[in-house]
Structure 1
Amino acid sequence: MPGALGGPRLLLKRLREVMAEPVSAQERLDKTVVLIAANMVAEVCSTYVLRSDDTLELYATEGLNPNAVHLTTMRKGEGLVGLVAKEAEAVATADAQTHPAFSYKPETGEELYHAFLGVPILRAGETLGVLVVQNRAHRVYSEEEIEALLTVSMVLAEMIASGELQALARPGADIAGRRPLHLTGASLAEGVGLGHVVLHEPRVVVKTLIAEDPARETQRLEDAIEGLRDSIDSMLDRGDVARAAETREILEAYRMFAHDRGWLAKMREVIATGVTAEAAVQRVQSDTRARMQRVADPILRERLYDLDDLANRLLRQLTGDGHHVPADRLPKDAILVARSMGPAALLDYNRDSLRGLILEEGGPTSHVAIVARALGIAAVGEVSEITNLVEEGDAIIVDGSAGAVQVRPAPDVEAAYAEKVRFRARRQEQYQALRSLPSRTKDGRDIGLYLNAGLLVDLPHVRESGAHGIGLFRTELQFMIASQFPRTSEQQALYKAVLEAAGDRSVTFRTLDIGGDKVLPYMHKIEEENPALGWRAIRLGLDRPGLMRSQLRALLQAAAGRELRVMFPMVAAVEEFDHARAMMEREIAFLRRHGKPLPDLVKLGAMVEVPSILWQLDEILARVDFLSVGSNDLFQFLFAVDRGNARVAGRFDTLSVPILRALRFITDKAAAADVPVTLCGELASRPLEAAALIGVGFRLLSMNPAAIGPVKAMLMEVDAGELESLVTEHIAAHADKPLRAVLREFAERRGVPL
């Protein structure tokens, strides 16, 4: 590229010096445009910054009227500058005034200039502004000059993203790259967390943009590419990956991208402009992301994730950076942000420092959501693009109750949420005062309130909440967070710790509910067309008797000298329960034969979550000591709705007449057989839904720990008989008005807290 100061490499060095000077943001920007203009042999160089209202504002210029700075604005898409911002691509023309997109701004004095070159200022594919050079002559800008200007724009992108220019913004004209954002997703765990972003797998920060030796940088890039290819090949060669078709497909796509000659050629071209290999990877990925974000095809847009991950892997090869911030060195108010995360990864972090969790993927019934609720941290999932919209250390608020996220919140928003946190704390104090009071309705009906649990961190909640016991202990969570299959002795130690923590309160253990979406990392995954309806839960246990017998033996030994309650999940036919009970009886006989101590009493139950069991209730009730209703799966199967699919999960109301009739049918049958029945799904965790459950006859509810207080406060203010009449009338009439609205009006009239 021709240039008075010796080309882009020297320009980048000069810009680095300017960035280090102790001057104001405006002075730094003014010096930057002067340097670029001189290097490009251009009469004009201007920087436009994108504001939060999608308008571009002139922030600095060399050559145009200086009085136009912070005065000239244009909409995204307006004029040549707006076109660059909208398309996120360079625009070069020898005669700007004849271009169909040209828009004249008289205050700038740009009518003297014909040649125009504008490039987007991009970071992580997001347009932050536009960098422009202009000449009086009808000049044709070369590809080398366009590439050089794009490289220089990376420096401005870092300057804008740092927030340094925000001080120059007028009130109400925040810079787009630092603007406050209100995002929505799915509520995973209730509560509110205020803090700062910690990326679970942070993007590698490229600190050195300018290369001293382009040939060496090219070699570094090729060595890193070779290392990346080798690492992908190694993963593909591993036996466990080879058996997992979905994982293998992703890695095959990675390998295809890693061998793409066009990708490598683009990075070599960028290195030739004088930047480091890391900067070249970042530039090419940002350009690619900007282009693909405008593609309508969802399959192609999904490839963005693959390319982002691949670019990050390549940057780690170049820099040697680790995968994430050490879990034990978090800020005291960490809000963890990730594309996705397993339960074991979340448990690696220091609970005392975590205030919240935000995920791009993961719905309310995902296993990481269950762990988040156990840890008592606010969590929101299904927040699109969150990992690309935030920077490490950004102020952020996660509202798990509303499924909302506030990124870089305005002071008034932050103050409102801080008050909400204080209000919740006061409410929790009020709930604590109810802890020792009986959970009894106004008309004297006792309602048993139990906890859903699955981890050691859940155990203190049993006493803290005043719960009657643990109504559902999910034994599979121990298996899911382990690196290998837990030995019988390890299982026994966990179950014994649970029973000891519960003291004289009852604990109901559910046998392994794995398979479907609950995949153990060390277990061979079976590819199924419809895993939710496939080989899982009791089906897997009966087909792999060694697995179930190991668990039953551990439970029996852990409960020696006390009562043991065990229930089997996803029972679809009474024969399945009979086989499972026979397996338990064989284990009891085995331990007795070997002189091992046994529980004083063993009670066996079944989960009602498969609709077929509704038409076998008389038979199953004659066999069990208790029933538990898994409302999550029962609802899913009744309505043929995949609860993990955001498109259909909210299609039907969980309090609609069909589900209420099914639940009433269960409670009526159980009462007639004098068999206790508990509801242990998510329905029980919200006061309004819990009121409906009392109305259909449930007297035992199991829920997450945070729900005990609110549900207890509700039931102490209601008349169970009134609720039963109200719900019965609603079911019989199949009224047009949803039961939710009816219950809210009822609660408002009676002063019942929901």
Structure 2
Amino acid sequence: MPIGGGLTTRGPRNLLRQIREAMAGAAPAQERLDRVVRTIAQSMVAEVCSIYLRRASGELELFATEGLNREAVHNTRLRPGEGLVGEVARMAQPISLSDAPSHPSFAYRPETGEDPYHAFLGAPLLRGGRAIGVLVVQNRAERRYDPDEVEDIQTIAMVLAETVASGELLGQEELRDVEVAPHRPERLKGQKFADGLAFGHVILHEAPLAPEKLLSSDPVLEEMKLNLGLADLKSGIDRMLEGGQGKLAGQSFEVLETYRMFADDRGWNRSLVEAVRSGLTAEAAVDRVRNEHRARFAKARDPYIKERLHDFEDLANRLLRVLAGDNPGQRELPDDAILVARNLGPADLLEYPRETLKGLLLEEGSAASHAAIVARALGIPCVGRLMGLRDRLSEGDLVIVDGETGEAHLRPRPDMLDSVQSRMAVRDQRQAEFAKLRDVPAVTADGTRISLLTNAGLAVDLENLDETGAEGIGLFRTEFQFMVSEELPRLDSQTALYKLVLDAAGDRPVTFRTLDIGGDKVLPYMETTEREENPALGRRAIRLGLDRPSLLRLQLRALLAAGAGRELRVMFPMIATVDEFRAARELVDVECDWARRRGRPLPALLRVGAMIECPSVLWHLDALLPLTDFVSVGSNDLFQYMYAADRTNPLVSDRYDPLSPPALRALQSIQKACADTGTPVSVCGELAGRPLEAFALLTLGFTRLSAPAGGVGPVKRMILSADLTAAKRGMASLLGSSAGSIRNEIESLARKLNVVV
């Protein structure tokens, strides 16, 4: 009999069919597993075939073997990383050696009797990118297994992984301690992205679709299906890149270009075709190649390389949906759905029905991401930065989203569930108290009137306007309409949205911020020439608007049309120089002249303002303020630029505290300059929505705050309890501190004055 040489029948289809027959038998589990390894050894002309499965302890236990000592089955266990088998599991990649005993990772276990064998080929059994076992074939002679044989064993390992996890091959008794799918309660610590509490059942966003059929009966037909799917995928990406109707709305141009690059990647395409030709269905081939890429990229140290994993993940998921003809927007959700994703864009989140979506859990992201902002606007509790989350969950698992502590509880115990329900009842009671304050004027205990507004950006936010009792909209983010659209919104659709907002507000003021896009928020239908190394400091917001005046003028034209006959407030973001504001205001004048010449009605009162979020203007307020009708402090960006700390980067976002002397002194200087010139000023960053931070703002003299909808009630309660005269005296003494943060001191001051924060 020849030594090695691959499968006796070219391609593993015949072998996979025999494995399926062995699985379907009525014999005891161990007997069926023994038949599987015997079949593999015969088909691959190997003298040894062994299957190791991972136990809950992480050890790899020999579950079946053909060629090694049978007494070693269920007795031989390898620690994580021990021996070549442990190395295959650790790397989650195949290992092929011609002389295994000479390898530094080789571990001799005398009870197995494997010392005569030199050639070694091992492949991981992957589930969710994690090795749950290892399949090994060995031969006595020193030889190198060829690429076809490596391909074959990977295909076989994939099928075994699916069947082991599903229980087809082994019964529940054998699987009880095998860490195939987590089932015990777990607590993961992450970061709070959106406040609130929720519990419900897991829905995996773009969940990997487990192929219903692994083996094909007609490889030629499956290859044709795969090629058609790839063609549809690529044409969809091309249509989006060209700005036409596509299926990838909300993704940045850079990511789309990456998708196209990966979709055309010869290695990826070749791997898919080879997997299909080996006997897998098109869906199973995509699933297998995805698992291989997931394992490979997940172990990379370079953050940029690790990020590419998500591009491959999304590409594979979209290809699977193309093959299945699946529309994710038509998924049926349970009434208590908790959405789980690695990362998410705002358009992705908006695809899910608000009435059934109770919470959001993310492996990545940041509190400043658009998905987090949308979650806060929708009142959906959200926790992010939960490493390894998706590998620990299955669709339908019960989970708790704790947006108060930044934690997720997976498969919680009954007592934990009872505790969360009690806390939710307390929150509901507190919300009822806030609701009673809805129509109470925001006046401090010593008689200072505070204007309390809300931030918005979605049509659904307009519902919150009446519910919260906010006096108006201090910041309407206009970019969301552009981000969730598959093409540039036309003049009439922009006008309709702005008119809807003004109608909903009635006689309450609305401040529209012009497009804050560019940098890391590039729209998929906008052309771009190069990738920016530092998008936060790049061509974004007003810079992009001035570089592309037709885009900004179209938006201004829509705003002027919507505001015809009433007050219109327009605000330009990221003003870094006085000249930028002059240029932007000139475009407003140009559009007003354009409307007058055509007899179009104009707003009865037009106010144009600037956002103060670039430190450069702090030393040029004397020139900027006289040109403006009002200004608003964007504290989120202002502080990230002051401290050179990207607020979306979890490695540095917590390196500074906004309640620090430098930050508060900067705010104080803005308020004083505005007071001296009579310029209305507000604060519309996240600071305005947190009671303690809002208390600090009041002590600095700010009387106009624009908070997220969920912060209006807590901040109003704080306002009603505050004696500003005493509070200002206490704050004055704290601003001279040399400490990096005076948060504790401000909190102590609030408690001393009986301010509810």
Q: Taking structure 2 as the reference length, what is the TM-score of the superposition?
A: 0.82
Which whole-Å CA distance do the structure 1 matches of 2:592 and 2:218 have between them? 74
Distance 1:133 1:587, change over 3 A: closer
Query: What's the offset of the Cα at 1:483?
Result: 3.6
Contact 1:161 1:177 in 2 (8 A): no
Distance 1:696 1:22, change over 3 A: farther
1:371 aligns to what?
374
1:699 aligns to what?
703
Query: What's the offset of the Cα at 1:286?
Result: 2.7
3-state DSSP class of the match of 1:129?
A: strand
2:38 aligns to what?
37
Contact 1:295 1:301 in 2 (8 A): yes
Distance 1:89 1:412, change over 3 A: farther
Contact 2:96 2:144 in 1 (8 A): yes
Which whole-Å CA distance do the structure 2 matches of 1:693 and 1:67 have between them? 74
Which whole-Å CA distance do the structure 1 matches of 2:536 and 2:385 have between them? 20
Distance 1:692 1:64, change over 3 A: farther
Query: What's the offset of the Cα at 1:660?
Result: 0.8
Q: Taking structure 1 as the reference length, what is the TM-score of the superposition?
A: 0.82
Where in structure 2 are the equivalents of 1:235-246 lying within 5 Å? Answer: 246=254
Where in structure 2 are the equivalents of 1:298-377 lying within 5 Å? Answer: 298-312=303-317, 315=320, 319-322=323-326, 324-327=327-330, 329-359=332-362, 362-377=365-380
Is 1:479 aligned to 2:482, yes or no?
A: yes
Distance 1:589 1:270, change over 3 A: closer
1:516 is aligned, of 514, 519, 538, to: 519
1:669 is aligned, of 673, 677, 683, to: 673
Contact 1:166 1:178 in 2 (8 A): no
Which whole-Å CA distance do the structure 2 matches of 1:516 and 1:552 have between them? 21
Query: What's the offset of the Cα at 1:739?
Result: 1.2
Query: What's the offset of the Cα at 1:465?
Result: 0.9
Question: Residue 727 of structure 1 aligns to which amino acid in structure 2?
Answer: M
Identity %: 48
CA deviation string 1:471-525 (max 9, x = no partner): 1112232333334444444333322322222233322222333333343443333
2:471 aligns to what?
468
CA deviation string 1:38-90 (max 9, x = no partner): 55369997654324543335667899999998776542123454343223345
Distance 1:202 1:562, change over 3 A: same
1:294 aligns to what?
299
3-state DSSP class of the match of 2:329?
A: coil
Give the paired residue count. Answer: 740
Contact 1:54 1:176 in 2 (8 A): no
Which whole-Å CA distance do the structure 1 matches of 2:149 and 2:584 have between them? 74
CA deviation string 1:566-585 (max 9, x = no partner): 33333344455455555545
Contact 1:88 1:120 in 2 (8 A): yes
Which whole-Å CA distance do the structure 2 matches of 1:569 and 1:610 have between them? 9
Which whole-Å CA distance do the structure 2 matches of 1:542 and 1:148 have between them? 58
Is 1:86 aligned to 2:87, yes or no?
A: no
Is 1:643 aligned to 2:647, yes or no?
A: yes
Which whole-Å CA distance do the structure 2 matches of 1:216 and 1:534 have between them? 49
2:686 is aligned, of 682, 685, 691, to: 682
Which whole-Å CA distance do the structure 2 matches of 1:94 and 1:542 have between them? 64
Distance 1:85 1:477, change over 3 A: closer
Contact 1:343 1:368 in 2 (8 A): yes
2:607 aligns to what?
603
Instruction: Pick which of 212-221 and 680-689 moved more.
Output: 212-221
Instruction: Pick which of 660-669 and 169-178 moved more.
Output: 169-178
CA deviation string 1:5-28 (max 9, x = no partner): 9996455335435656799xxx54
3-state DSSP class of the match of 1:352?
A: coil
Instruction: Pick which of 324-333 and 161-170 moved more.
Output: 161-170
Query: What's the offset of the Cα at 1:249?
Result: 5.1
Question: Residue 124 of structure 2 aligns to which amino acid in structure 1?
Answer: P
Query: What's the offset of the Cα at 1:537?
Result: 3.5
1:448 is aligned, of 443, 448, 451, to: 451
Which whole-Å CA distance do the structure 1 matches of 2:243 and 2:680 have between them? 49
Which whole-Å CA distance do the structure 2 matches of 1:35 and 1:138 have between them? 23
Which whole-Å CA distance do the structure 1 matches of 2:755 and 2:684 have between them? 23
1:283 is aligned, of 274, 280, 288, to: 288
Is 1:155 aligned to 2:156, yes or no?
A: no
Q: Which runs of no fewer than 5 residues in structure 2 stay unpaired?
A: 247-251
Which whole-Å CA distance do the structure 2 matches of 1:82 and 1:99 have between them? 13
1:425 aligns to what?
428
3-state DSSP class of the match of 2:716?
A: helix
Contact 1:128 1:176 in 2 (8 A): no
Coordinate RMSD, CA, aligned: 4.5
Is 1:120 aligned to 2:124, yes or no?
A: yes
Distance 1:300 1:438, change over 3 A: closer
CA deviation string 1:338-358 (max 9, x = no partner): 455443343232211222334
1:250 aligns to what?
258
CA deviation string 1:284-319 (max 9, x = no partner): 4433443443343445444434444454455556x3
Contact 1:378 1:398 in 2 (8 A): yes
Query: What's the offset of the Cα at 1:382?
Result: 5.1
Where in structure 2 are the equivalents of 1:533-572 lying within 5 Å? Answer: 533-541=537-545, 547-572=551-576
Distance 1:166 1:536, change over 3 A: farther
Query: What's the offset of the Cα at 1:462?
Result: 0.9
Distance 1:5 1:508, change over 3 A: closer
Q: Which runs of no fewer than 5 residues in structure 1 stay unpaired?
A: none
1:497 aligns to what?
500
Query: What's the offset of the Cα at 1:417?
Result: 4.1
Contact 1:538 1:568 in 2 (8 A): yes
Is 1:192 aligned to 2:197, yes or no?
A: yes
2:720 aligns to what?
716
Which whole-Å CA distance do the structure 2 matches of 1:591 and 1:92 have between them? 74
Where in structure 2 are the equivalents of 1:40-55 lying within 5 Å? Answer: 40=41, 47-55=51-59
Contact 2:358 2:381 in 1 (8 A): yes
Question: Residue 202 of structure 1 aligns to which amino acid in structure 2?
Answer: A
Which whole-Å CA distance do the structure 2 matches of 1:145 and 1:577 have between them? 66
Query: What's the offset of the Cα at 1:629?
Result: 0.9
Distance 1:293 1:462, change over 3 A: closer
Which whole-Å CA distance do the structure 2 matches of 1:142 and 1:217 have between them? 27
Contact 2:13 2:215 in 1 (8 A): yes
Which whole-Å CA distance do the structure 2 matches of 1:514 and 1:7 have between them? 51
Contact 1:3 1:40 in 2 (8 A): no
Is 1:742 aligned to 2:727, yes or no?
A: no
